[in-house]
Amino acid sequence: MRLLFCLAALVAVTFGQDANHTPPKVMVYSHDPGEFGKANTLICHVSGFHPPDIMIQLMKDDEEIRNAEQTDLAFKKNWRFHLTKSVPFTPKEGEKYSCKVTHGLTPKQYAWERNRMVWPRLQQHLFFTSPIS
């Protein structure tokens, strides 16, 4: 009987957590238009997610770029969180840049598109990046 009760409690907790799970919306862009050989900033903005446990990695050819800066975790009134990570970079032809987001058990990778940049006032009107993995 105790085993059945423990199993029922475990199922309730598991499904209760899933009910509050909201996947992140991800935008990967650069501060300036992407030009090969020109210094720029790679930015990954992740928003609208819950719970707050998340890991963001900026990648170059599937290797993490070190020394990236991350904002403090913040949330809106609805308890959906947002976070931004950025790093200076100089894109070169043939290199692939992306943002790897791990929220829950499955990491997803989002590609940087060379011609995408976001101005702060227009940010809320742009579409979000689709995962590549």
pLDDT tier for residue 20 given thresholds of 50, 70 and 90:
confident
**Residue 23 reports pLDDT greater than 50:** yes
**Residue 93 reports pLDDT greater than 70:** yes
Q: Tell me, yes or no, whether 37 lies in a domain.
A: yes
Q: Tell me, yes or no, whether 69 lies in a domain.
A: yes
Q: Are strands 81-89 and 97-102 parallel, antiparallel or unpaired?
A: unpaired
Whole-number pLDDT of residue 9 = 44
pLDDT tier for residue 119 given thresholds of 50, 70 and 90:
low
* Domain housing 107: 22-125
CATH of the domain at 74: 2.60.40.10
Q: 32-88 pLDDT, tens per residue?
A: 999 999 999 999 999 999 999 999 999 999 999 999 999 999 999 889 999 999 999
Q: Tell me, yes or no, whether 42 lies in a domain.
A: yes
Q: Tell me, yes or no, whether 4 lies in a domain.
A: no
Are the C-beta atoms of residues 111 and 97 closer than 8 Å to each other?
yes
Q: What residue spans of 1-133 are helical by DSSP H? A: 2-19
Tally of domains in the chain = 1
Identify any residues that bridge with 16 across adjacent strands, giving them in sequence order: none
Read off the pTM: 0.76
Mean pLDDT for the stretch of residues 95-110? 96
Q: Tell me, yes or no, whether 131 lies in a domain.
A: no
Q: Tell me, yes or no, whether 133 lies in a domain.
A: no
Whole-number pLDDT of residue 25 = 96
Q: What residue spans of 20-133 are helical by DSSP H? A: none
